[in-house]
Structure 1
Amino acid sequence: MKKLEIHILPFIEALERFAIRLETQGASQSQVYIKANSVKEFLHYLEQKGITKLSQINQKRVDEYFEYLKNRPLETKNGTMSPAYLLKHRECVLRFIEFVLSQQQEIGHGQSGIQIRIDKSETAPKEILLENEVELLFDACGDNLLGIRDKAILSLLYGCGLRRKEALQLDISEIDLNKGRVHIDKSKTKHARDVPMSTKVQQNIEEYLFNVRNLMLDSNSDLTSFLITERGTQMNDGTLGKVIERLSKKINIGKVVTCHLLRHSIATHLHRYMIIEDVAKFLGHQSLDSTMIYTHLKNEYYG
């Protein structure tokens, strides 16, 4: 749909301003391109329906558009859009509508009054680790240097619920042991947050920081990344994946453990004792829509 064109001047100008806003917020060129194209398709659809003013965008128009998207055939292969793609498209359209409204009034994230509901049943996680399975995972780490480091990794991914990329980008300066929290500055949502550490999580983090990390580093190294390899280099995505894969094979519980599964698991476990709004805050979600899957998982696993 990249060849679609829009001709109404207010639409063109709004799209250009939206792209500039994305750039100023730190979005990469590829993300600006992808998000702008999603919005462009939305505006093209409105043009085809005779909509000529941004003020005419309302819940009814948005509902009609996403009903159209759900059934629109793909250009490159058979079938229609996956729920995952629809969710990405939803995010772009909502942020654009908020941007347009913000030109006339002060409005925050998720306050446009427009709701777009996508059936996430195909993309929602189907399973989690139970608490005893998480314990097995920690036990599988062992007490040698790599084992202590791996416990620190699990403490970030499960104990703090960090996203994979957040853990990899974490700097030692963002670990506040005095206040017992981890500061996440480089977040997927571009919103910083502070994540509390439980006593056990903090113990694992401290043992790695004070007794292991310095031994893995070269004496002349000035590397400040929290997660490093045994060779003293910054850990990358592939190495982190191999660590989790190795631990998953060790416990052999019939589930494939991944970084994201650990995040899903802690969110579900916390929701047994916390309201959904607090779980969303812990995870760094800006919309409750993203967090509601854990209500389903909690009910499925714990009733």
Structure 2
Amino acid sequence: MKKLELNTITFIEALERFSIRLQTQGASERQVSSKTNGVNEFLHYLEQNSIAKLSQINQKLVSRYFEYLRNRPLETKDGTMSTAYLLKHRESVLRFIEFVMNQQNEIGQGQSGIQIRIDKTEKLPKEILLENEIEVLFNACDSSLLGIRDKAILSLLYGCGLRRKEALQLEINEIDLNKGRIHIDKSKTKNARDIPMSAKVQQNIEEYLFNVRNLMLDTTSELTSFLITERGTEMSDSALAKMMERLSEKVNMGKSITCHLLRHSIATHLHRNMTIEDVAKFLGHTCLDSTMIYTHLKNEYYG
């Protein structure tokens, strides 16, 4: 949709300040454009409904707006907005409302009191790896240098539930073997967290760190990235994807092994014995809505 023109000066100025805040927080140009366009559409809706003050934004008004979005026909093809679009739009609107409220009161992310329920059925992961399949996957990593490294990668993605980017950006000084935990500073949500390592995960991490990584590195290298290639270079996104594809073909269990699948799997397994709040903390979620999918998966797979 083309950017809709705003006429209310208060709205225009607030949107400009919001854009500047996103930039100072380190958002990419694409993220700034996406979020401001989403908020622009929301503010235009307010104008069309005779709302001229930001203080008039409340739960009832926001709920009505998203009900309108759900049912609004698409301009270029048949149907209505996808769940993915609605989720992105919700993120933009919630962050804007928090920004506006924070001009008067100190509130954090997720503390606006506004809730926007989106049916996530379309985006739910359709499958996870069961515990026995996880065991098969780990056993597929042999005792070679690459096998030991790959097992360490699985330990990060499944054992610690790291996001793909978090694993790739992990530095060796963020692994505390004395306390048995990993510190994630570069998080998708900008919120740092500490993740405990099980004894087996720590054993896999240590074996790679002390017996493999140093052999892959050039003796003069000062590379601090935890994950590296066999050539001693920092592991890229594509290299990690190829490694997962290779493992997927090796175990041949009829499921495409991806970083996200491993994260979904550990979250579902943990939720069998942990509260959804504890699972959210483990995963680094700032909003429980993002974690509720694991209640669905737990019920689907384990009853």
Measured against the shorter chain, the TM-score band is over 0.9
* Unaligned segments of structure 2, at least 5 residues: none
SS at match of 2:187: coil
**1:210-235, CA deviations, whole angstroms, 9 ceiling, x for partnerless residues?**
00011111111111111111011111
**Superposition pairs for residues 32-43 of structure 1, below 5 Å?**
32-43=32-43
**Superposition pairs for residues 166-245 of structure 1, below 5 Å?**
166-245=166-245
Instruction: Decide which moves more: 103-112 or 75-84.
Output: 75-84
Query: Structure 1 segments of 4 or more deviating over 4 A?
Result: none
Match of 1:47 in 2: 47
**1:246-299, CA deviations, whole angstroms, 9 ceiling, x for partnerless residues?**
111111111111110000000000011111100000000000000011011111
Match of 2:160 in 1: 160
Instruction: Decide which moves more: 219-228 or 72-81.
Output: 72-81
Match of 1:125 in 2: 125
Which amino acid counterpart does residue 93 of structure 1 have in structure 2? V
Q: Distance in 2 between matches of 1:196 and 1:77?
A: 48
Q: Please state how far the C-alpha of 1:86 moved relative to its aligned partner.
A: 0.7
Match of 2:80 in 1: 80
Q: Distance in 1 between matches of 2:185 and 2:76?
A: 38
Match of 1:286 in 2: 286
SS at match of 1:194: strand
Q: Distance in 1 between matches of 2:62 and 2:301?
A: 35
Asked if 1 retains the 8 angstrom alpha-carbon contact of 2:3 and 2:40, the reply is no
Which amino acid counterpart does residue 191 of structure 1 have in structure 2? N
Asked if 1 retains the 8 angstrom alpha-carbon contact of 2:3 and 2:37, the reply is no
Q: Please state how far the C-alpha of 1:177 moved relative to its aligned partner.
A: 0.8
Q: Please state how far the C-alpha of 1:111 moved relative to its aligned partner.
A: 1.4
Q: TM-score, normalised by structure 2?
A: 0.98
Q: Distance in 2 between matches of 1:77 and 1:248?
A: 37
Which amino acid counterpart does residue 95 of structure 1 have in structure 2? R
Q: Please state how far the C-alpha of 1:173 moved relative to its aligned partner.
A: 1.2
Q: TM-score, normalised by structure 1?
A: 0.98
Q: Please state how far the C-alpha of 1:23 moved relative to its aligned partner.
A: 1.5
Instruction: Decide which moves more: 52-61 or 72-81.
Output: 72-81
SS at match of 1:89: helix
Q: Please state how far the C-alpha of 1:13 moved relative to its aligned partner.
A: 1.1
Q: Distance in 1 between matches of 2:224 and 2:77?
A: 45
**1:161-183, CA deviations, whole angstroms, 9 ceiling, x for partnerless residues?**
00011111111111111111111
Which amino acid counterpart does residue 13 of structure 2 have in structure 1? E
Q: Please state how far the C-alpha of 1:77 moved relative to its aligned partner.
A: 3.8
SS at match of 1:208: helix
**1:185-206, CA deviations, whole angstroms, 9 ceiling, x for partnerless residues?**
1111111111111110001011
Match of 1:259 in 2: 259
Q: Distance in 2 between matches of 1:255 and 1:21?
A: 42
Q: Distance in 1 between matches of 2:259 and 2:205?
A: 17
Which amino acid counterpart does residue 47 of structure 1 have in structure 2? E
Match of 2:57 in 1: 57
Q: Please state how far the C-alpha of 1:76 moved relative to its aligned partner.
A: 4.1
